[in-house]
């Protein structure tokens, strides 16, 4: 049992958003930020921001607000992204290759350490781009997971293969799956799954457009 038990999930989600806002402030060389400023862009009240950060034992300094570099470090420590952690990717198709090229992961504390596919034409090849990685066969996953102490995997395979591959990932020792396949995954209670639903954002845009214009 861990520290997240009594913290509402939405507060955890907002931590990532606070971190984005803090990093934007740091990029502009601001040294402090008020709870109002931290909440403004996110549409949250200053009271909500203070309450969220208090869950994690973070309190602003009266008359100063939060010290930006300090709070960035603390939020990263809470999220577990203060140290670079290695993740693997299964699926070297178009989406997989886009994810390999995506620079945002490294910036956020994640290093893509290994790529897997089951297509014999792809296995053994190197990926393109600046972050060149060898593509391994799925059967190599358990050994590589152990060797690099990898706990998180990104699943970017077709929907029809997703459940089977997820089970292989879990068997190999993966404990967190970022799922891009548009199907729900059945995994044990000791495995966390975050699903990226690309269509959900389009629905939200659709709602907004239908609301403001007849």
User: Site residues (CB under 8 A) for its own copies?
Assistant: 1-5, 9-10, 12-13, 15-17, 19-20, 24, 43, 78-81, 85, 87, 93-95, 97-99, 101-105, 107-110, 151-152, 154, 159, 175-178, 182, 184, 190, 192, 194, 196-213
Query: What gap in Å lies between CA 65 and CA 53, rounded to an integer?
Result: 12
- Find out whether 191 and 174 touch, Cβ atoms under 8 Å: yes
Overall residue count recorded for the chain in this entry: 214
Task: Please identify, using beta-carbon distances, which residue of 92 and 123 lies nearer to its own copies.
Answer: 92
Find tokens 């990093």 and name the residue: 23
CB of 115: closest distance to its own copies in angstroms?
A: 13
CB of 92: closest distance to its own copies in angstroms?
A: 11
Element spanning 117, H or E = strand 110-117
CB of 17: closest distance to its own copies in angstroms?
A: 8
Burial of 100 (0-12, 13-18, 19+ CB in 10 A): buried
Q: Which two tokens stand for residue 141?
A: 């996953």
Task: Please identify, using beta-carbon distances, which residue of 144 and 191 lies nearer to its own copies.
Answer: 191
The count of other CB atoms within 10 Å of the CB of residue 103 is 9
CB of 144: closest distance to its own copies in angstroms?
A: 18
DSSP state at residue 101 = H
DSSP state at residue 6 = G
Task: Please identify, using beta-carbon distances, which residue of 120 and 199 lies nearer to its own copies.
Answer: 199
CB of 36: closest distance to its own copies in angstroms?
A: 19
Task: Please identify, using beta-carbon distances, which residue of 106 and 139 lies nearer to its own copies.
Answer: 106
Task: Please identify, using beta-carbon distances, which residue of 67 and 151 lies nearer to its own copies.
Answer: 151
């Amino acid at each position: 049992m861990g520290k997240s038990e009594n913290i509402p999930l939405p507060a955890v989600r907002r931590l990532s958003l606070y971190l984005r806002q803090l990093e934007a402030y740091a990029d502009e060389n601001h040294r402090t930020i008020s709870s109002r400023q931290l909440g403004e862009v996110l549409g949250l009240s200053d009271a909500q921001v203070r309450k969220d950060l208090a869950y994690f034992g973070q309190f602003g300094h009266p008359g100063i607000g939060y010290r930006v570099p300090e709070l960035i470090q603390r939020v990263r420590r809470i999220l577990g992204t203060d140290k670079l952690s290695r993740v693997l990717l299964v699926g070297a198709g178009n989406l997989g290759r886009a994810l390999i090229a995506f620079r945002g992961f490294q910036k956020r504390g994640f290093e893509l350490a290994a790529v897997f596919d089951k297509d014999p034409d792809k296995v053994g090849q190197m990926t393109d781009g600046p972050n060149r990685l060898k593509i391994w066969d799925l059967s190599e996953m358990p050994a590589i997971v152990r060797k690099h102490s990898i706990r998180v995997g990104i699943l970017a395979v077709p929907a029809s293969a997703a459940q089977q591959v997820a089970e292989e990932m879990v068997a190999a020792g993966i404990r967190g799956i970022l799922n891009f396949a548009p199907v729900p995954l059945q995994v044990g209670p000791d495995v966390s799954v975050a699903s990226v639903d690309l269509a959900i954002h389009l629905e939200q845009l659709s709602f907004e457009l239908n609301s403001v214009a007849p």
